[in-house]
Structure 1
Amino acid sequence: MQPNSSKATIHLLVLDIDGTIAGVSNEIREPIKQAVQAAQAKGIQVAIATGRMYCSALRFHQAIGATLPLMAYQGALIKDPTTEQVHRHWTLSARLAADLLDYYEQPALRDQLSVHLYIDDQLYVRELTADSKDYGYRTSVIPIPVGDLRSLLDQEPTKVLALGEDPMLMDRVLAELRDRHPADELYLTKSVPIFVEATNPLVNKGTAVQYLAENYLGIAPENVMVIGDNFNDLEMIQYAGIGVAMGNAPAAVKAAADWVTLGVEANGAAVAIAEFLL
């Protein structure tokens, strides 16, 4: 795809965080900030859609000067940081969360996975594993160890995440869970190769971006451009008038995109913004 005058005007740019605007440094590089500011100067609104917790995504929202609601947890939580208004919070049923936790407690899996339970924008873990500590460090969140996570299910969680060190194991876990839970029961996705994430079945970044565009801003899909890098970005890439995949994205995500830019370490998001919006 090449930008041309016959294309609809873009009014909304939606950015993923990890692997898209933040790479190894866990910070947004200056060329990306400058590109975003140039787009905003042309009247284009910019928003974040991420699998991260709301509290973890907030600094990126602030760093790009976003003024729209923030879409966190794959879009399960849409909240306006300025007004604190919650536009959407679709939680996971306690029954399905218990099923997931039972599955992760199997002897064959228990010692190979770190399981994270997210309730009220807090992160709860069974115990502090090295993986959970690393995750907490990168996301600036303090994991709270509580022992058996099933003891917290008097509340409905926003998300359940399992992480392991073996991408092939996580592929198998994802496949097994999809066999056990149809799409109308759980939304299951991967944001990085070693994560398996589960949310309410209505949740994905596509429905979140659709809400922000159509319900909040009153614009059409063709007025939206999105940039993402992984399987959890597929739905918003397919929804938007211009869906851009990062150069570091899996082949299936690139195949679904209208355009493929450079990788995150080469400021691919800035390249895409310049190509289509500037």
Structure 2
Amino acid sequence: MGLLRLVAIDLDDTLLYPDRTISPRAKRAIGAVQRLGSQVVLATGRMFCAAKPFALELELTGPLIAYQGALVKTVAEENIWRHLHIPAGQLVQLLEWLEAEPVHINLYVDDQLYVEQMNSTAERYAKYSRVEVKEVGRLSRLPFEAATKVVAIGDPDRLSDLQIRSQALFGPALAINRSYPHFLEFGHLEATKSQALAWLGEKLGIGPAAMMAIGDGENDLDMIEYAGIGVAMGNAPAVIQAAADFVTATNDADGVAIALEKYFNLTP
């Protein structure tokens, strides 16, 4: 195995403990990887503003992959390197279709979160992600020309049916995936973590063979398969673990740190 020059790490249920903190062991491992000259990049479905505090805690200043790959933006300078949008025509059609379904809708535009009404779902999301939520009424009537991402939140079984139907309607034009059983996410067709890594690798001169990707969910599968070393968390579903080169410990047992220690020959 050659030198790993870039490590992409998912946040929720991967790097973060259940209480949404980063362990001292993980911090030490990430710092050691950076001192060896490898780039560490957080790759998350979160908003940039919700992910940035964790990057700063880890003293990461370079690019951060947010919104499942729709946005690549530097932490220190906040320079946008890549930003993919859902075009207006598709956006209005998608919002109108979702508004006829029994789901809560999150609309993300310019790193702001908009909802139709501030219900219990929106309140829980705001508390979990530590972001501001703007209540604006019916989303499909807003004058936005494009959006970064749309998320339908609801019953997992209902969303499974909705996912099948949405693939038939929007699959050829949009990226559709599940970050959680109760989250169904819609973005630009190229807004996936693997495509963001490919774009970033081309910009930085780093091929997939020199990359490691660590994740736990359906939305991490493509980057785990893309990277030269794909690592699945011990708490990941079986299908994710089956695709990985290495299955590490769970997120609450320092799985990220264990993987970095293994492949970079670090002392715990």
TM-score normalized by structure 2?
0.95
**Deviation of the 1:186 alpha carbon:** 0.6
Q: How does 1:1-278 map to 2 (within 5 A)?
A: 7-106=1-100, 109-110=101-102, 113-164=103-154, 166-182=155-171, 184-215=172-203, 217-278=204-265
How far apart, in 1, do the equivalents of 2:47 and 2:75 lie?
13
Contact 1:94 1:153 in 2 (8 A): no
Q: Please, which runs of 5 or more residues in structure 2 have no aligned partner? A: none
Aligned residue type for 1:38 = A
How far apart, in 1, do the equivalents of 2:50 and 2:262 lie?
29
**Deviation of the 1:41 alpha carbon:** 2.0
**Deviation of the 1:84 alpha carbon:** 2.4
Contact 1:78 1:88 in 2 (8 A): yes
CA deviation digits over 1:209-249, x for unaligned, max 9? Answer: 1122221x211111111101101111111111001011111
How far apart, in 1, do the equivalents of 2:188 and 2:143 lie?
15
Contact 1:225 1:243 in 2 (8 A): yes
Aligned residue type for 1:97 = L
Q: Percent identity?
A: 39
Aligned residue type for 1:210 = A
- Greater shift after overlay, 53-62 or 27-36? 27-36
- Greater shift after overlay, 29-38 or 117-126? 29-38
Name the counterpart of 1:4. none
Contact 2:60 2:75 in 1 (8 A): no
Aligned residue type for 1:203 = A
How far apart, in 1, do the equivalents of 2:96 and 2:128 lie?
27
SS at match of 2:122: helix
**Deviation of the 1:155 alpha carbon:** 2.3
Aligned CA-pair RMSD: 1.2
Dislocated runs of 4+, deviation >6 Å: none
Aligned residue type for 2:224 = I
CA deviation digits over 1:37-87, x for unaligned, max 9? Answer: 121222221111110001000011111121221111011011112222211
SS at match of 2:190: coil
Aligned residue type for 1:270 = A
**Deviation of the 1:153 alpha carbon:** 4.1
How far apart, in 2, do the equivalents of 1:153 and 1:188 lie?
23
Contact 1:47 1:67 in 2 (8 A): no
More strand by share: 2
How far apart, in 2, do the equivalents of 1:80 and 1:175 lie?
35
**Deviation of the 1:16 alpha carbon:** 0.5
How far apart, in 2, do the equivalents of 1:228 and 1:97 lie?
28
How far apart, in 2, do the equivalents of 1:62 and 1:211 lie?
23
Contact 2:65 2:73 in 1 (8 A): yes
Aligned residue type for 1:56 = A
How far apart, in 2, do the equivalents of 1:54 and 1:269 lie?
21
How far apart, in 2, do the equivalents of 1:129 and 1:43 lie?
46
Aligned residue type for 2:183 = F
